[in-house]
């Protein structure tokens, strides 16, 4: 199994999950926004053949080729059931898992990525720096909603560490790096989970 990724991008959540899972894998660093002639570039034809958008992450396992980070997280968790990364099969637990994953992708992460796009990802003439205040406003609103979705539990779902915790911790790490305001509760969540041995090993692999 090969994971293609780039440093602290969304691929990091998958790298961390692989370290938690105990599965055997190879990590392949990819460079974004580089010339297609560079063999490590996300624009190189060989990479575009496995990820048509030229983005990271990509996971290749035999004839399985996945290009969405949450699909990759789910795949890793299901392939390594003993890791406990996937919460059980009880319909309520699965529903909570689905709700939080959707919330992180569509609400919590969205203002962070908007800032990223308008800071470095979009062509310069498409960037609108005035949207940063809107992104801050939207992020604060999403954090407020998250308080209600999570309650007071130590872990996001079913009182166990799962891929939802990886997703949340990495998203708050991203928010810290992008200088959003983070309530102490979520700084603590990020710090607590990043102290896990698997997270530290994943960090070492990208540094």
Ligand X SMILES: N[C@@H](CCC(=O)N[C@@H](CS)C(=O)NCC(=O)O)C(=O)O
Closest CA to 105 of 133, 129, 74, 131: 74
Among 15, 17, 56, 142, binds ligand X (CB under 6 A): 56
Residue with tokens 């030229």: 54
Asked if residues 85 and 17 have their Cβ atoms less than 8 Å apart, the reply is yes
**Rounded Cα distance, 33 and 15, in Å:** 21
Residue 57 or 111: the one with the smaller Cβ distance to ligand X is: 57
Of the candidate spans 54-62, 130-138, 154-162, 189-197, the one that interacts with ligand X by CB under 6 A turns out to be: 54-62
Among 36, 40, 68, 107, binds ligand X (CB under 6 A): 68
Cβ count near 150 (within 10 Å): 20
Q: Draw the binding track, 6-45, toward ligand X (x: CB under 6 A; -: no contact).
A: ---xx---------------------xx------------
Give the shortest CB-72-to-ligand X separation in angstroms.
Answer: 7
Q: What are phi and psi of 69, to 5 degrees?
A: -60, -35
Q: What are phi and psi of 50, to 5 degrees?
A: -105, -15
Instruction: Examine residue 50 and tell whether it contacts ligand X (CB under 6 A).
Output: no
Residue 111 or 158: the one with the smaller Cβ distance to ligand X is: 111
**Rounded Cα distance, 13 and 5, in Å:** 10
Among 69, 74, 83, 171, binds ligand X (CB under 6 A): 69
Asked if residues 36 and 30 have their Cβ atoms less than 8 Å apart, the reply is no
Instruction: Examine residue 114 and tell whether it contacts ligand X (CB under 6 A).
Output: no
Residue 68 or 138: the one with the smaller Cβ distance to ligand X is: 68
Residue 9 or 162: the one with the smaller Cβ distance to ligand X is: 9
Asked if residues 200 and 14 have their Cβ atoms less than 8 Å apart, the reply is no
Strands in 26-29's sheet, in edge-to-edge order, are 26-29, 2-5, 58-61, 64-66
Of the candidate spans 17-25, 50-58, 149-157, 165-173, the one that interacts with ligand X by CB under 6 A turns out to be: 50-58
Instruction: Examine residue 177 and tell whether it contacts ligand X (CB under 6 A).
Output: no
Residue ranges that bind ligand X, judged by CB under 6 A: 9-10, 32-33, 55-57, 68-69, 121
């Amino acid at each position: 199994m090969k994971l293609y990724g780039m440093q602290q991008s969304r691929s990091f959540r998958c790298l961390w999950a692989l370290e938690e899972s105990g599965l055997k894998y190879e990590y392949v660093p990819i460079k974004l926004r580089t010339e297609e002639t560079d063999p490590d570039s996300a624009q190189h034809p060989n990479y575009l053949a496995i990820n048509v958008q030229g983005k990271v992450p990509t996971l290749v396992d035999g004839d399985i080729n996945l290009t969405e980070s949450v699909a990759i997280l789910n795949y890793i968790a299901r392939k390594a059931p003993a890791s406990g990364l996937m919460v059980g099969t009880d319909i309520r637990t699965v529903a909570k898992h689905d709700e939080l994953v959707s919330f992180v992708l569509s609400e919590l992460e969205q203002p962070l990525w908007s800032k990223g796009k308008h800071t470095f990802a979009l062509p310069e003439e498409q960037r609108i720096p005035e949207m940063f205040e809107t992104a801050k406003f939207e992020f604060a609103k999403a954090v407020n909603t998250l308080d209600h979705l999570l309650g007071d539990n130590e872990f996001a779902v079913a009182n166990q560490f799962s891929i939802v915790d990886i997703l949340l911790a990495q998203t708050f790490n991203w928010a810290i790096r992008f200088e959003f305001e983070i309530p102490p509760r979520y700084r603590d969540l990020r710090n607590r989970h990043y102290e896990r041995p698997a997270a530290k090993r994943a960090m070492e692999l990208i540094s």
